[in-house]
Structure formats: structure tokens, C-alpha cells
Copies of this chain bind each other. A is one copy, B any other.
Amino acid sequence: MSLLRKDPILGRWIIISTERPKRPEDYTILEEPEGHAGPEDCPFCAGNESKTPPEISSFRAEKTKPNTPGWWIRSIPSADPFLNSEGHLEREGSGIYDWMNGVGAHEIIIESPEHVLRIEDLPESQVEKVLWAYRDRILNLERDERLRYVLIVKNQGAAAGSAIPHTHSQIIATPIIPKLVKEKLDGAKSYYDYKERCVFCDMIRQEQLSPERVIEDSRHFLVMAPFAPRFPFEIWIYPKEHSCSYADISKEQIMDLSRVLRATLGKLGKALNKPPYNYILYTAPNRVPRRGHWHSLKDDFHWHLEIMPRLMRVAGFERGSGFYTNPTPPELAAQSLRDVTL
């Protein structure tokens, strides 16, 4: 079980594990788990299905059984979940403090039956399947009325927080809208209230007119280095057509995105010697439970994907102020990535 606790000053929610709490002796300082598991011990490789919790869903060959080989993509519950899918959502308080029980979902999407370490090393057709799996899990989880948001996250490499090197993504569904997502929604809404236009659509148009930060402008997607990137070589991918939810992505868009995502990560890997990175998919909050509230988001939010390479340590200034320093101007990053030939 876990508990969500709210900071009384910042209103920031934190997930505290109460089931297997870590004591001082359980911390080994910033260990490097990468490379520990070879294909034979890897719980995510085909043939080792019994080493993971039973699958939630999979894309697999006809007549093969769940939890046996024959799959291309496999979704499983996390073996060490932040949040639990059972129980009612209960809120409580004491004096200035508030908490709720840790209801939510924490799943893993295994992106290949083979022991491949990076999504960009998969064939395009396999990346397509991953992108379909993202959509399917969002559609499934947003039907749960206790949940408000589904976040899709990739941790690539131990330094980016990955404990298992076999390529996979995490799906985390939360009972509240995460703070950073809320700030995006609020920022986009303020702009819409003032301009009656989507801030993301305006940004896409401005970047296309003066494309010094554009890395690729494909049929359906704009790949760009953002104007104010927190991290060196940060990359944003936006659908050019306005749409608030990734769950509404079309087949044609998925085909284009699988090529674009693979190429972008391939260029990043080639320019920077396969760096660790995170990527995050930002979609609209869950639509089903609160349809009324949902309709206002349709115009002002615009789903997107952010890639954040890990090239520098985040020091105390960034942690303590929320102010980031970046020694690579995004115009230089975009140019360097445009210049890479795969």
C-alpha cells in the first residue's frame, strides 16, 4: 500500500511507500543497475513470462496463450507499484496536513520480446505496435472513475531511472492531476481565455515560420527544440493537427509518429553517444468520469511528447528554485540534430 500526502505550503502531492519502507541500510548510494540482467535472466524477454506478474493485455500471435511466448507487446502490472489498483479513494486530514490512499495504476509495457535495449533500435513496425499499446492502455485506464490522469513515461538507461535494461515504458495512472500537468493545463487555458486560440497551435505556427529550432517537419508532426528548454538537447514532438488526446490518434498519425520518434531518438543517440533519456507523453486528463469539465479542454489542450536527455546533473539551484540552466541554446541543438545522417 502507499499513501499520497500533500505538502501544506506548495499543495504538491508525494507518494509515500508504506508497505516496504526503505531504512537507511537499504540505500546504496546511486548504484548503477544497468547491465545486471543478461537475456537469460531478463524478466522481460520472451520465454521468461513467469518472472513477471500475469499480463494485463498483449499483442500476440493467434492461438498463443497469455503469459507464454508468441507476443510482440506485453502489458503487465509493475512488480513494485507506486500506486495500487484496489480500494476506494479516501481522503483524510489532520490539522494542516492532508492525505489520501494510494489508489491508481502502475503498469509496464514491454516493447519487444527480444532483448533490445533502446526503442530506437526496434524496427518501425514494432514501434508502431508500442504506440498502439499506449493508446489502448489510456483508453482502458480512463474508464476507471477513480483516476484522473494517465501518464506514459520512458526511462532509458540506469541514469534516467530505469532498473531493467530491456526496452519498456511505464504507465502511471493517478487519482489527481499531477502538478506539472495541471500547470500546463492552466497555462494553456489562460492563453485560450485571452486569445481564443490554442497556445500550442500558435507555437507550432511560429516555429514553422522561423524554423531555426525545427528538427523535422513531417506530414503530421513537428519535431522541435523548445524555445526555453530545461535540459540540453530537449526535444518536443507535436501533432500538427489540433487534438487534445493521444487516445484519438489516427492510424496514419501512428505510422508517421513511429518513423519520426525512431528517427529523432536515433539522431539523438548518434549525436550524443546513446545518452540516457526520459520521454513523457502528455495527453488530456481522463475524459470519461467528468464529461462536463472535459469539454473545455478540447479546444485549449494539445497532446505532445517531450524527450529529456540526461547529459548534466541537476544541481541544488535547479532543485531548490525550479530555475534551470542550460548550456546548449536550442537553436544549436536543433542544428546539430538536423545535421545527423542516420
Q: Is the CB of B15 within 8 A of A315?
A: no
Does A294 interact with chain B (Cβ within 8 Å)?
no
- Residue of A158, A282, A321, A328 with most partner-chain B CB within 10 A: A321
Neighbouring B residues of A273 by C-beta, 8 Å:
29
Q: Is the CB of A228 within 8 A of B13?
A: yes
Neighbouring B residues of A328 by C-beta, 8 Å:
17, 21-23
Q: Is the CB of B187 within 8 A of A11?
A: yes
- The CA-CA distance from A160 to B312 in the complex, in Å, is 11
- The CA-CA distance from A10 to B180 in the complex, in Å, is 9
From known contacts A14-B229, A151-B317, A178-B321, infer whether A199 and B8 are also in contact, taking CB-CB under 8 Å: yes
Closest Cβ neighbor of A226 among chain B residues: B7
Q: Is the CB of A14 within 8 A of B326?
A: yes
**Interface locus among A37-45, A50-58, A68-76, A200-208:** A200-208
Neighbouring B residues of A180 by C-beta, 8 Å:
10, 320-323
- Residue of A29, A183, A320, A329 with most partner-chain B CB within 10 A: A320
Question: Of B30, B312, B320, which is within 8 A of A153 by CB?
Answer: B320
Q: Is the CB of A199 within 8 A of B30?
A: no
Interface string of A306-325 (1 = CB under 8 A from B): 10101111111111111111
What is the CB-to-nearest-CB distance from A262 to chain B, in angstroms, rounded to a whole number? Answer: 18
Does A155 interact with chain B (Cβ within 8 Å)?
yes
Does A116 interact with chain B (Cβ within 8 Å)?
no
Closest Cβ neighbor of A185 among chain B residues: B9
From known contacts A12-B322, A96-B206, infer whether A29 and B159 are also in contact, taking CB-CB under 8 Å: yes
Does A79 interact with chain B (Cβ within 8 Å)?
no
- The CA-CA distance from A160 to B23 in the complex, in Å, is 21
Does A82 interact with chain B (Cβ within 8 Å)?
yes
| B-contacting residues, A200-251, CB 8 Å | 200, 202-203, 206, 226-230, 232-233
| B-contacting residues, A283-342, CB 8 Å | 306, 308, 310-330, 332, 336
Does A95 interact with chain B (Cβ within 8 Å)?
yes
- The CA-CA distance from A158 to B275 in the complex, in Å, is 19
List 20 extra interface pairs beyond A11-B187, A12-B322, A22-B328, CB under 8 A: A8-B187, A8-B199, A9-B184, A13-B228, A14-B228, A14-B326, A16-B330, A23-B336, A27-B232, A27-B272, A30-B276, A82-B325, A151-B317, A153-B320, A161-B316, A172-B321, A181-B321, A278-B315, A278-B319, A308-B316
